[in-house]
């Protein structure tokens, strides 16, 4: 298999500072969707990740995650917002 990922080029996109709150809310949502999926698959909280026992230390509320774990979700959220921009859409507050 010779899969080569081709993400959109978002390197020149700078997000407006007004999107910081949205980015954080999306990061929390991303975490919650991930956790919901894991829990539905029978995973539970555990101090160590164990694929056989289906335990994971990240199965906690977003505000209890380490900053490095939150940053992972923030990067995903920012990447999505930047892709929306590159695709020609814009985000407006309702």
How would CATH label the architecture of 24-86? Orthogonal Bundle (1.10)
Query: Given pLDDT bands bounded at 50, 70 and 90, which one contains residue 92?
Result: confident
- CA dist 45 and 58 (Å) reads 7
**Pair of tokens at residue 35:** 């956790």
In this model, does residue 64 exceed pLDDT 90?
yes
Dump pLDDT digits (tens) for 14-62: 999 989 999 999 999 999 999 999 999 999 999 999 999 999 999 999 9
Backbone phi, then psi, for 46, in 5-degree steps? -155, 150
Specify the pairing of strand 55-56 against strand 44-45.
parallel
* pLDDT of amino acid 71: 97
DSSP assignment of 19-67 equals GHHHHHHHHHHHHHHHHHHHHHTT-EE-SS-BTTTTEETT-S-GGGS-H
């Amino acid at each position: 298999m010779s899969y080569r990922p081709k993400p959109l080029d978002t390197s020149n996109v700078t997000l407006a500072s007004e999107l910081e709150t949205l980015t954080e809310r999306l990061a929390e949502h991303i975490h919650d969707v991930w956790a919901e999926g894991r829990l539905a698959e029978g995973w539970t909280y555990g101090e160590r990740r164990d694929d056989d026992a289906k335990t994971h230390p990240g199965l906690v509320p977003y505000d209890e995650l380490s900053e490095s774990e939150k940053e992972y979700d923030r990067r995903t959220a920012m990447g999505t917002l930047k892709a929306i921009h590159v695709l020609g859409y814009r985000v407006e507050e309702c």
